[in-house]
Structure 1
Amino acid sequence: MNSRSACRSVVVVVVVWLGCFCQESWSRGPEDLEQNAAVQRFRSYLRIPTVQPEPDYGPAIAFLLGQAQEVGLAARVLEFVAKKPLLVMTWKGSSQQKLPSVILNSHMDVVPVEEEKWIYPPFAAHMDEDGNIFARGSQDMKVVGMMYLEAIRLLKARGWAPVRDLHVLWVPDEEIGGNDGWGKFAESQEFADLNAGIVLDEGHISYNQTYIVDYGEKAMWWLVIQAFGGTGHGSIYFDNSASENLFKSIASINAFRESQMNLVKAGIKPLEEVVVVNSVFLKSGSPTPDGFTMNIQPSVVEAGFDVRVPPVAEMGAFMNKRIAEEWAPKSRNMSYYFTVKTETKNGDVPVTIADDSNPWWTLLKKAVSKFNSTLSPEIANGASDSRFARMQGVSALGITAIQDVPFLIHSDNEFGVTISGGSGTEVHGLCHERL
């Protein structure tokens, strides 16, 4: 798709919920996209390679602090875990009352790349003749963070100011579970002091004038199963070897996986209502400098699985029982643990109310109706930092205000569209609402 035309259907500046959007026609002028200041800032941020598993957040923080100073936002850096900074930008509201604040969240880290599969270097932020900008993070989710800043820049230029406080967060480690970023932040006094009323976070690419809004998400269980057994020569059989026991479990897991997939394929259930389980690693054998020892049966083997569970206590209990009794039973010399497990005390994973009983939802719906768009509330299959806010009792909704572009999150040749020459949004109202 030509990104210039796609831009015309994109909500170019995102502050949805700061108020009721009023769409108006505006243009940045006939300047070449290469010279467009917003595009330059976006590309500069994309060129900072905050790549998991060893991101260097220092350059990103330095760049963003410079942006905060340019825009005129107060900024402070918090660090709950060494070398994992969290940046809070604040636009103070004018109210003397302690109104609930609005938080716009963006994570700085990006997933790894296989550079040889990319048309252009993944951190060059190359822009082609159609205005498509190729870079890791151009959809997930550096683009969203920069859209926040461009929206605020525009609002300040127009003389608009909020009544309630607005905070823009730039957080680490979302792509590896977020425990050292939002996880620590959500439990801190610093978070409590923000008096958050609503958190806006990343969501889906949307299509056909309908914005997908994530009001909750499946529980994220990153499961590691281990099997133990005696070691022995590769030429003999013995019962209950570690590999044998693990393969029995993998067979059971694959059968369950197929049953869930068939429900979706048959149209019996949507994807958001079934458990998703996928194998992500298998670790076994005795390594040598050029391979593995071929005549030794390993005494320990393990496998990792990305499991996504619908956010209801009954489903969580069902899966806990299945894992303990079928997938990793002690009777087969097996054990398991979770590197990440979204769970609350009562077993439910909290969701945000996505109807008119929630005033934040009502304002969002009113906002998008200004340009003939609607909302489609969904349970997200993936995870985001929103879950940490919800577990603290704070409403959180995930929406990426981009429409009608290819979905390339975590994919090769990820590209984003230029933020130029299309529709702009003036945001007002929500920060004035005393809800």
Structure 2
Amino acid sequence: MFTRHRQLLLFSVAIFLLSEYTPPPSSAAAHPREPAPITRFRSYLKINTAHPNPDYTTAVKYLTAIASTIPTLRIKIIYLTTLEKPLLLLTLAGSDPSLPAVLFNSHLDSVPVESSKWLHDPFGAHLSPEDGKIYARGAQDDKCIGMQYLEAIKELKGNLDFSPLRTVHVSYVPDEEIGGFDGMAKFVESEEFKELNIGFVMDEGQASPSDEFRVFYADRTPWHMVIKANGLPGHGSRMYENCAMENMMKSIEVITKFRDSQFDLVKAGLAANSEVISVNPVFLKAGTPSPTGFVMNMQPSEVEAGFDIRLPPTADPDLLMRRITEEWAPAWRNMTYEITKKGVLRDYLGRPLLTPTNDSNPWWSVFEQAIAKAGGKLTKPEILASTTDARFMRQRGIPTLGFSPMKNTPILLHDHNEFLKDSVYLDGIKVYKHIIKSLSSFNGTSSSY
């Protein structure tokens, strides 16, 4: 952990480097009358922040260059781990700093690409003149909202009537796509975060194929489970009780029945995919290798299988653990298991990690009214099937909603040919203008849920 003096020194260095910063060269032809926000968005998309080697430094320099053009917007670069993983924090001070602030979060990184599977260079930000689609890794997940926050604040500050009551913070964090453990997880534990006095957070959501916006009040929590079955090795012709492969097959059969019971609820329309516990096999390791494949006349003494488990906040983790120890990997069947929990299901008071979307949460009605003022409609609030940095804020008892203003758009996060239409992007800026103005002007009680 760097000292505050060290952070200020590094920040000064960053500002010096900024004076020599030039945007990445364009790899797409210029488009006549292209709106400046689209040009800036495409330039951000051209910065390769995909794993395994995300260029966070260039991304932060670029965002800082734009932020420096917005009057009274304070800029701070924080290093929670290494110089290669900066966290950018922007602050627009409110007139009443005693009120809990509002945080708008996005992540800098994106997932890897298979360039050969793309129609266009995934880091070229190609803008199709026929339909306005901007092809790039991160176009939906989630460089769009990071730039929309900035553009919305830039336009609001251009209006001299805008004076926020509450302080507004905007954060750009590293490593969300690989768990967030060197990003938001460390940030929420830092003194810098505690000093922000955050009362409400907006984080990423997902695109909506319909003409209504989607909003998420919770994430599922991932558990990675590896089961090992052991037994005596034997000749391939022998049949005997409790060999390693037989034990694993029994476990997989039991796990499959549980998976089917959960999936049946989804197929019957009784629950959304994100509302059930999903258990999906991801690997199976067994057998004795040979130069031509595997030894066919030898039964293995050890078998290993991996499963990706996702739990909604309503799930009972203790009940699932009993199921694992008694049915899925019982010790009496010479089985062991290891679970890597990528998050928790309860906050610091023992409550499920979810944000109420009713009158018990005053922020919800403010957000809902802001969407209406922007001319939009919301679908029924959902649990996100995957996992985002929002869980770290909810764990601290801070109400957090996941939202990305992309309607009439296919869901393409982590997919080949990820794109976002220019018109959808520009509309999202207008939506965030209403959201930022409404949330920062909220003068009611804003205690954590």
Relative to the length of structure 1, the TM-score reads 0.83
Letter in 1 for 2:371: V
The equivalent position to 2:406 in structure 1, one of 402, 409, 418, is 402
Distance 2:36 2:292 in 1: 51
The equivalent position to 1:393 in structure 2, one of 397, 402, 405, is 397
Map Cα deviations across residues 156-185 of structure 1 (whole Å, 9 max, x no partner).
Answer: 222333232211111122222222221122
Structure 2, unmatched stretches of 5+, are: 1-29, 445-449
Correspondences of 1:37-48 after superposition (within 5 Å): 37-48=36-47
**1:123 aligned onto 2:129:** no
> SS in structure 2 opposite 1:431?
helix
The equivalent position to 1:361 in structure 2, one of 356, 359, 364, is 364
Contact 1:178 1:385 in 2 (8 A): yes
> SS in structure 2 opposite 1:250?
helix
> SS in structure 2 opposite 1:353?
coil
Contact 1:312 1:347 in 2 (8 A): no
The equivalent position to 2:418 in structure 1, one of 405, 414, 426, is 414
**1:220 aligned onto 2:219:** no
Contact 1:342 1:349 in 2 (8 A): no
Contact 2:208 2:408 in 1 (8 A): yes
Map Cα deviations across residues 370-406 of structure 1 (whole Å, 9 max, x no partner).
Answer: 2443332222222111111011011101111111111
| Aligned-residue offset at 1:209 | 4.4
Aligned position for 2:430: 424
Aligned position for 2:57: 58
Aligned position for 1:384: 388
Contact 1:75 1:87 in 2 (8 A): no
Distance 2:336 2:282 in 1: 19
Distance 1:61 1:283 in 2: 42
Contact 1:90 1:165 in 2 (8 A): no
Distance 1:69 1:55 in 2: 23
Q: Measured at CA, do residues 112 and 433 of structure 1 come closer, stay the same or move farther in structure 2, by a change above 3 Å?
A: same
Correspondences of 1:45-124 after superposition (within 5 Å): 45-72=44-71, 73-82=73-82, 85-124=85-124
Letter in 2 for 1:364: F
Contact 1:135 1:413 in 2 (8 A): yes
| Aligned-residue offset at 1:261 | 0.9
Contact 1:286 1:296 in 2 (8 A): yes
Correspondences of 1:163-202 after superposition (within 5 Å): 163-202=165-204
TM-align CA RMSD: 2.9
Aligned position for 2:328: 327
Aligned length: 404
Q: Measured at CA, do residues 295 and 58 of structure 1 come closer, stay the same or move farther in structure 2, by a change above 3 Å?
A: farther
Q: Measured at CA, do residues 173 and 330 of structure 1 come closer, stay the same or move farther in structure 2, by a change above 3 Å?
A: farther
Contact 1:221 1:342 in 2 (8 A): no
Aligned position for 1:342: 344
> SS in structure 2 opposite 1:424?
helix
> SS in structure 2 opposite 1:75?
strand
Contact 1:34 1:40 in 2 (8 A): no
Structure 1, unmatched stretches of 5+, are: 1-30
Aligned position for 2:35: 36
Aligned position for 1:351: 354
Distance 1:303 1:55 in 2: 31
Contact 2:164 2:441 in 1 (8 A): yes
Map Cα deviations across residues 53-100 of structure 1 (whole Å, 9 max, x no partner).
Answer: 443423222322323223353222223333662423323324244211
Distance 1:290 1:135 in 2: 42
Q: Measured at CA, do residues 169 and 231 of structure 1 come closer, stay the same or move farther in structure 2, by a change above 3 Å?
A: farther
| Aligned-residue offset at 1:32 | 4.1
Distance 1:233 1:78 in 2: 60
Distance 1:142 1:398 in 2: 14
Distance 1:268 1:45 in 2: 41
Structure with greater proportional strand content: 1
> SS in structure 1 opposite 2:147?
helix
| Aligned-residue offset at 1:300 | 4.3
| Aligned-residue offset at 1:274 | 1.8
Q: Measured at CA, do residues 148 and 400 of structure 1 come closer, stay the same or move farther in structure 2, by a change above 3 Å?
A: same
Contact 1:233 1:296 in 2 (8 A): yes
Map Cα deviations across residues 183-204 of structure 1 (whole Å, 9 max, x no partner).
Answer: 1222222211110011101112
Contact 2:229 2:244 in 1 (8 A): yes
Contact 1:77 1:85 in 2 (8 A): no
Correspondences of 1:269-308 after superposition (within 5 Å): 269-284=271-286, 298-308=300-310
Contact 2:394 2:400 in 1 (8 A): yes
Q: Measured at CA, do residues 284 and 77 of structure 1 come closer, stay the same or move farther in structure 2, by a change above 3 Å?
A: farther
Letter in 2 for 1:106: S
Contact 1:222 1:338 in 2 (8 A): yes
Q: Measured at CA, do residues 96 and 223 of structure 1 come closer, stay the same or move farther in structure 2, by a change above 3 Å?
A: same
Aligned position for 2:145: 144
Contact 2:223 2:339 in 1 (8 A): no
Aligned position for 2:164: 162
Letter in 2 for 1:258: D
> SS in structure 2 opposite 1:342?
coil
The answer to which structure, 1 or 2, has the higher relative contact order (CA under 8 A, 6+ apart) is: 1
**Percent identity over paired residues:** 43
> SS in structure 1 opposite 2:381?
strand
Contact 1:226 1:303 in 2 (8 A): yes
Contact 2:222 2:342 in 1 (8 A): yes
Map Cα deviations across residues 89-125 of structure 1 (whole Å, 9 max, x no partner).
Answer: 3233242442111111101121222222211122221
Contact 1:93 1:166 in 2 (8 A): yes
Q: Measured at CA, do residues 238 and 271 of structure 1 come closer, stay the same or move farther in structure 2, by a change above 3 Å?
A: same
Distance 2:224 2:118 in 1: 28
Distance 2:401 2:306 in 1: 30
| Aligned-residue offset at 1:155 | 1.3
Q: Measured at CA, do residues 360 and 240 of structure 1 come closer, stay the same or move farther in structure 2, by a change above 3 Å?
A: same
| Aligned-residue offset at 1:228 | 3.7
